[in-house]
Amino acid sequence: MTKIIGLTGGIGSGKTTVANYFQEMGVPVYIADDGAKKVMQSEEVIEKIKITFGENIFEEGVLNRANLADIVFNNAEELKKLNAIVHPAVKKDFQAWLLQHKKYTYVIYEAAILFESGSYKDCDVIITVTAPEEIRIERVLKRDNTTRAQVLSRMNMQLNDEIRISKSNYVINNDNLKKAKEEIVEIVKILGIKQNQS
């Protein structure tokens, strides 16, 4: 039976970098955010988004993700509505992906809102990636076309590190990539993950 490692962390913590390193070591990785983008192109999900948020967030029939983000990242209730549509569809997509990777001992499910979505309940092991707040803000400003105020607003919508850490089996401090990689290698050893399984 394949075991699921839940990998989480706040915006800018560098969890995708950590996920990529696990992948290099032979652990398949499912990125929930990519799964969400995929399912949000399905007719069923688009129809539910239209009914919930209205036609005006669509341009020529195509969902304007920036318009939707403006609505949900400034309003916790609206975010809950979106998550109620997207999360069940992502869960279904992940289950299909998991079947394709059932020969692996461990796989990684990477999600920013692992706890908020309830996905942590399906995980056998949970890893939280952390980094100091200023480093996280700088990373997001470099990566996204956004403002400091918007980054802080998104941080405030997520669980804080203390709560994540209290619910996790392992914590990776990602303020320094070399040290973070050493911590990953240690976790791989502890869990007995065979590297570069094929």
57 lies in the same domain as 95 = yes
* 12 marked as part of a ligand binding site: yes
pLDDT at 23 over 80: yes
- 17 annotated among ligand-binding-site residues: yes
108 and 187 assigned to the same domain: yes
Examine the domain organization and report whether 176 and 112 are in the same domain: yes
Q: For residue 13, say whether it is annotated as part of any ligand binding site.
A: yes
Confidence of residue 116 (pLDDT cuts 50, 70, 90): confident
47, 72, 100 - which closes a domain: 100
Please state the pTM of the whole predicted model.
0.89
The pLDDT > 70 percentage for the chain reads 98
In a domain, 198, yes or no: no
CATH number of the domain enclosing 40: 3.40.50.300
pLDDT of the residue at 195: 61
Q: Does 121 lie in the same domain as 185? A: yes
Q: To which residue do tokens 């999360």 refer?
A: 87
Strands 58-59 and 62-63: antiparallel
Give the total number of structural domains in the chain: 2
Q: Is the pLDDT of residue 198 over 50?
A: no
